[in-house]
Amino acid sequence: MAPARQMRLNEAHVARMALLVTPDGPLPPAETATDDDFRQFTQEILAGSDGSDQIWVFAYGSLIWKPACEFVEIRTGLLRGWHRAFCLGWNTWFRGSETNPGLMLALDRGGSCKGALYRLPPGAAAENIEKLCRREMGRKPSPFPPRWVTVMTEQGPVRAFTFCIDRNSGRYVSGLNEAQIADVLARAVGSRGSMVEYLFNTVSHLEQLGIHDPHLWRLQELVAERLDGSR
């Protein structure tokens, strides 16, 4: 068995950036989703299911290390036609500021993505979908609305819902190279934490699942290089 890869980005980097976490400030102008909205989002997601009691959600970013829902089974799988990308911007409150806005992960068109599949508890799918909507769709219209996709697993294809970027949302960011993305991730901090923490948790948990993302691996090295050089 091959030894585990050693990340250059580490918990000391995360702890350093945690010292810069700021209090909650006013959210930027946007309409906040209501309880009725969350119930509607939930029903719309359920309406797209195949009617079985097996409801799966595909996680590719922070939902891997902070699921925000109950689940009874986890698998890894490959989603074709979408890739994981730091394309959701610009975050100026939770993990960024007006001075140093953050970039979040979303699924963008093209390529493929390996991630985690969570099966929601039978008989409790609706309440757990609503929890996920409250986590991922707190502002409307959502820049990354839910979508049903087919994920390939060792046990066969699985139909699941996930969250994909809306390129027309106004929050879609493209055209940045890895060095430019690393510059953003190395600096952005908000009330919920730093982008350094977000990247560290995502890469380390993917590795624990046996998923190696070369793009994110290069980013963690580049971000650590910037932090080490800023001392």
| Residues identified as active-site | 136
Pair of tokens at residue 12: 């000391």
Residue 131 CB contacts under 8 Å (≥ 6 apart), including other chains: 68, 69
Residue pointed to by tokens 């919920």:
192
Pairing of strands 193-194, 156-163: unpaired
Nearest to 72 by CA among 18, 9, 119, 125: 119
Return the axis-axis angle of helices 35-47 and 125-136, rounded to nearest 10°.
120
Pair of tokens at residue 189: 């901090």
Number of helices and strands in the chain (H, E): 7, 9
**Cα 212–chain centre separation:** 16
Return the axis-axis angle of helices 195-208 and 214-229, rounded to nearest 10°.
140
Pair of tokens at residue 225: 């290089």
- The three-class DSSP label of residue 1 is coil
Return the axis-axis angle of helices 214-229 and 178-187, rounded to nearest 10°.
50
